[in-house]
C-alpha cells in the first residue's frame, strides 16, 4: 500500500457507505471453496477503475504455490490509488457469491488513532459471470435493517443505530444468502458494479 490514508479512504467509501451488508465472519468455509478461473484477469468499471483478480500465492518464495480457490483483488482508480482485497467465490442457491475482505489492512507500521477505529469486515455480493462481463451486486443494508426492525428475519447481528454487523456463522450466513438470492428488494439499492474485461 502506498499510503495509509488512501486505504482508509477507499474503505470508508466502499464499505462504510451504508449501502452494503457487513459481516464479522466470511460467507464461506474451506470446504465451500473450489478451484476456478472465473474472475482471473483485468476488468474495468464505468469510472475507469481497474479491478485485477489474480489467484493467491502460498508458501515460501522458493516453494511458491498458486491457490486456485482464492483471489487477490487489486483495485486501482484512474488517479493511481490502490487497495488490495482477498476474494473468495462460493456457489449458493445456484448463484455465485463473492466474499470481499480487505487484505493489507495492517500492513502499514505507522498506525494512527483513526486506524485503530476501523475494523476490517467481510462484505458479500452476488456475481453474474458472462464471457466478458462481471455484474456484482451487494446486499442492501437498508433492506436488511428493515427486515430486522420488522422481526421478519432472525440472524445474529449487532446494531449500533448506524450500521448492522452480522455476527452469524458461515453456515447461517449461507442460509440467509440462499433464502434471499432471488429477491429483487435485497439488492435493489445496494452497491453494484459492472466490470468489463480489458
pLDDT at 9 over 80: no
Residue-wise pLDDT for 130-164, tens only, equals 989 999 999 999 999 999 999 998 999 998 888 88
Buried (b) or exposed (e) across 177-186, using 16+ Cβ within 10 A? Answer: beebbeeeeb
Question: Which of 143, 148, 137 is closest to 193 using CA atoms?
Answer: 137
Residue-wise pLDDT for 32-46, tens only, equals 999 999 999 999 999
pLDDT value of position 59: 85
Grid coordinates belonging to 137 = 451486486
- Which phi and psi angles does 86 have, rounded to 5°? -95, 130
pTM: 0.86
What is the domain partition of the chain in residue ranges?
Answer: 4-197
Residue-wise pLDDT for 88-103, tens only, equals 999 998 999 999 998 7
62 or 175, which is more confident: 175
Amino acid at each position: 500500500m502506498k499510503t495509509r490514508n488512501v486505504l482508509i479512504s477507499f474503505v470508508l467509501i466502499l464499505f462504510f457507505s451504508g449501502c452494503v451488508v457487513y459481516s464479522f465472519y466470511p460467507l464461506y468455509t474451506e470446504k465451500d471453496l473450489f478451484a476456478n478461473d472465473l474472475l482471473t484477469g483485468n476488468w474495468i468499471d464505468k469510472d475507469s477503475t481497474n479491478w485485477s483478480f489474480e489467484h493467491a500465492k502460498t508458501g515460501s518464495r522458493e516453494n511458491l504455490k498458486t491457490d486456485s480457490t482464492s483471489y487477490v483483488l487489486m483495485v486501482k482508480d484512474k488517479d493511481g490509488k490502490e487497495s488490495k482485497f482477498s476474494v473468495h467465490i462460493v456457489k449458493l442457491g445456484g448463484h455465485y457469491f463473492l466474499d470481499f475482505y480487505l487484505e493489507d489492512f495492517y500492513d502499514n507500521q505507522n498506525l494512527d488513532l483513526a486506524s485503530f477505529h476501523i475494523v476490517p469486515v467481510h462484505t458479500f455480493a452476488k456475481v453474474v459471470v458472462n464471457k466478458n462481463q462481471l455484474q456484482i451486486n451487494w446486499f442492501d443494508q437498508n433492506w436488511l435493517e428493515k427486515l430486522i426492525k420488522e422481526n421478519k428475519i432472525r440472524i445474529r447481528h449487532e446494531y449500533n443505530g448506524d450500521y448492522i454487523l452480522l455476527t452469524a456463522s458461515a453456515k447461517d450466513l449461507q442460509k440467509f444468502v440462499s433464502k434471499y438470492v432471488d429477491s429483487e428488494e435485497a439488492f435493489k439499492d445496494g452497491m453494484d458494479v459492472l466490470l468489463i474485461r480489458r
